[in-house]
Amino acid sequence: MAIKKFMYLNRRAPYGTVYALESLEVVLIAAAFDQDVSLAFMDDGVYQLVEGQKTDGIGMKNFSKTFHALGDYDINQFFVSAESLEERGLSVDDLMPLVWEDEDDDWAEKPSIKVVPNAELTKIMSEQDVCLSF
């Protein structure tokens, strides 16, 4: 099967709506088909990656932990909008330290998250075969 470039664009905060969770489900499907997958986070979507989510009080599954597993599925391109972070008083230090192991570099752990300006996100988007919005 031909490999296509898939980008998942995440723009909603977690838990208040089901978008964030559904996106993760579909990301895992694409990974199972060995596609070239990247994730973009902008607007309130950046809250999906915030470190220290604790959901005991609302009786919902804390699915933020799933992001840590994506590196093992060769999903290691997380593009986060710099402007969206700044508007929300957040920086990369407030996000989960997601990493992946680089097979070609003696399995060195490398960061999956890359903070980029919106202009660069535009360019990355234009290089995709498919862009799915959540």
Partner 1 sequence: MLHTVNKSSFERNSLQSCLNTIDDSSVILLIEDGVISAAKNSKSFMLAELATQGRVYALQGDVEARGISSKLADNIKLVDYAGFVDLVIENGTAVSWV
Please say which residue, 24 or 30, places its beta carbon nearer to partner 1.
Answer: 24
How far is residue 38's CA from residue 67's CA, in Å, rounded to a whole number?
12
∠ CA 39-44-49, rounded to 5°: 50
C-beta of 27 vs 49, nearer to partner 1: 49
Nearer to partner 1, 52 or 105 (CB): 52
- Shortest distance (Å) from residue 40 CB to partner 1: 16
* Strand, helix or coil for residue 104: helix
Residue 45 CB, nearest approach to partner 1 (Å): 10
Tell me how far, at minimum, the Cβ of 116 lies from partner 1, in Å.
19
Residue 33 or 97 having the CB closest to partner 1: 97
Q: Which long-range contacts (CB under 8 A, 24 or more apart) does 94-99 make?
A: 94/50, 94/51, 95/46, 95/49, 95/50, 95/51, 96/49, 96/50, 96/51, 96/64, 96/67, 96/68, 97/51, 98/49, 98/67, 98/68, 98/70, 98/71, 99/71
Contact residues toward partner 1 (CB under 8 A) are 12-17, 43-44, 47, 50-58, 60, 62, 64, 86-90, 94
Residue 81 beta carbon to partner 1: minimum distance, rounded to whole angstroms: 12
